[in-house]
Amino acid sequence: DAGVIQSPRHEVTEMGQEVTLRCKPISGHDYLFWYRQTMMRGLELLIYFNNNVPIDDSGMPEDRFSAKMPNASFSTLKIQPSEPRDSAVYFCASSFVASEQPQHFGDGTRLSIL
């Protein structure tokens, strides 16, 4: 069974540009999570969805960040406009709804904003 798939794996763009990160969760999983990982702040939860509905977006840093999940097999995280401080590795993870099921992570998108 395929794991969580993220694209692109690497993205380099200039400040002010729009960035869209994509995620395909594991089929059948009910939860989807977006995380950001930096050396300074570690792994931060940005937002998570249950059955395609956003449940908690309190970790989204500011209005420049938005996330959608139009269906059970696809989610996007968008940054518009991007800034150099947004440079980080962004991870998507998914899990079953049953309690104590582990989260399965994709291999991340390494984002560099110049």
Partner 1 sequence: SQQGEEDPQALSIQEGENATMNCSYKTSINNLQWYRQNSGRGLVHLILIRSNEREKHSGRLRVTLDTSKKSSSLLITASRAADTASYFCATADGGYQKVTFGIGTKLQVIP
Residues near partner 1, by CB under 8 A: 4, 31, 33, 35, 42-43, 45, 48, 50, 56, 91, 93, 95, 97, 99-108
In whole angstroms, give the CA distance from residue 94 to residue 50: 10
Q: Which of 43, 85, 38 has its CA nearest to residue 62?
A: 85
The DSSP bridge pattern shows strands 31-38 and 42-50 to be antiparallel
The DSSP bridge pattern shows strands 10-13 and 109-113 to be parallel
Helices and strands in the chain: count of H runs, count of E runs: 0, 11
Closest CB to partner 1 among residues 48, 81: 48
Smallest distance, Å, CB 108 to partner 1? Answer: 6
Closest CB to partner 1 among residues 17, 101: 101
Closest CB to partner 1 among residues 45, 64: 45
Closest CB to partner 1 among residues 15, 43: 43
